[in-house]
Amino acid sequence: MKETGRYEPYSYFQLMEVSLRELLVEKGVMTEDAIAAAMAAMRARGPERGAAMVARAWLDPVYKSRMLANGSRAAGELGFEVPGLNLIVVENTPQAHNVIVCTLCSCYPRMLLGIPPEWYKSRPYRSRVVREPRKVLAEFGTRVAAKVQIRVHDSNADMRYMVLPMRPAGTNGWSEERLAATVTRDCLIGVAVPKLPKFPKSRKS
Amino acid sequence: MKSDSDPIFRPGDRVRVRNAAPLGHVRTPFYIRGHAGVVERVCGAFPNPEELAQQRDGLPAQPLYRVRFRQKDVWPGYRGSAEDVIEVEIYQHWLEV
């Protein structure tokens, strides 16, 4: 439920959700504590899991090939339980840039990336990124060269998607943890690419 | 024995999405109906969501494909590279040769 900060009466669907939840508790199907725990677990999940998979793939080409063949199994290898998730990992290369959308609703690999951002669920993103991906990416600050192919993936049915971005230059010898820290949620959706923090250039005479 | 859940298309096959407008819960986006593309991969078989939405079992499971379409074929006046693609998941009963 979205918090707007001011009192508003329940909408039809909010009322339905509260009624259903209260009935399930009253009938002993689940407890309030179990619901609260599930919500806390959902909020605690963030894109760090996806970022860890990316960093491992950058360091281990054999893991990377397993990840591209079966994303869910590769998540399990790092200890991430993803029951029911059919994950496809799509790889960015110098020739192709990938971006994910669910045009029908808001399908998203929550087990690995957490709760999707509001814009991912918004009608403007869902309707525009399929038909003018380059313009939408530019609005996110991601300019893709004309010679690079854009691949838009509509997550419209049973599969879920995550982008494997390219490893940024200048990261030779970096640890897995340090590499993972360059991978943001937006990189895993494909609207951004990993960037290194900018340091002011040292002044040389 | 061949079952209704066996895929009849293979990666690389050229397919067309049925141009139909049934009512109910349909997971074939409108923008892709009637368009031709190429099978990118077979994803397995899944209960038919149109049946699941009606409280039925959705069986036999429908083979699901990822189909790759050229953006310039899908959107009139597409601005971008002619190589740009969109990939959409389509159940077998929505595909024809």
pLDDT tens profile A57-93: 999 999 999 999 999 999 999 999 899 999 999 999 9
> Which of B43, B44, B28, B48 shows the shortest CA–CA distance to B96?
B28
Domain span at residue A33? 12-44
What pLDDT score was predicted for residue B5?
Answer: 87
A134 and A156 fall within a common domain: yes
Give the residue with greater pLDDT, A183 vs A199.
A183
Active site annotation includes A187: no
Active site annotation includes A102: yes
A126 and A161 fall within a common domain: yes
CB contact under 8 A, A133 and B80: yes
Residue B7 within a domain: no
A122 and A26 fall within a common domain: no
A31 and A62 fall within a common domain: no
Around B62, how many Cα atoms within 13 Å sit in the side-chain half-sphere? 20
Give the residue with greater pLDDT, A5 vs A150.
A150
Count how many domains chain A has.
Answer: 2
A65 and A95 fall within a common domain: yes
| d(CA B19, nearest CA chain A) in Å | 17
A74 Cα distance to chain centroid: 16
Contacts of A156 in chain B (CB under 8 A): 27-29, 88-89
Mean pLDDT of all residues in B58-77: 97
List the CATH number of the domain containing B89: 2.30.30.50
Contact by Cβ (8 Å): A116, A168: no
pLDDT tens profile A121-151: 999 999 999 999 999 999 999 999 999 999 9
> Which of B92, B24, B31 shows the shortest CA–CA distance to A132?
B31
Phi first, then psi: give them for residue B78, nearest 5 degrees: -55, 130
Q: Does ipTM come in above 0.90?
A: yes
CA A90, CA B84: separation in Å to the nearest integer? 15
Query: How many A/B residue pairs have CB atoms within 8 Å?
Result: 76
Mean pLDDT of all residues in A152-159: 97
Count how many domains chain B has.
Answer: 1
Residue A117 within a domain: yes
Prediction pTM value: 0.91
What pLDDT score was predicted for residue A205?
Answer: 44
Residue B27 within a domain: yes
Residue A17 within a domain: yes
For residue A152 the two structure tokens come to 């838009």
For residue A173 the two structure tokens come to 């010898």
Contact by Cβ (8 Å): A154, A108: no
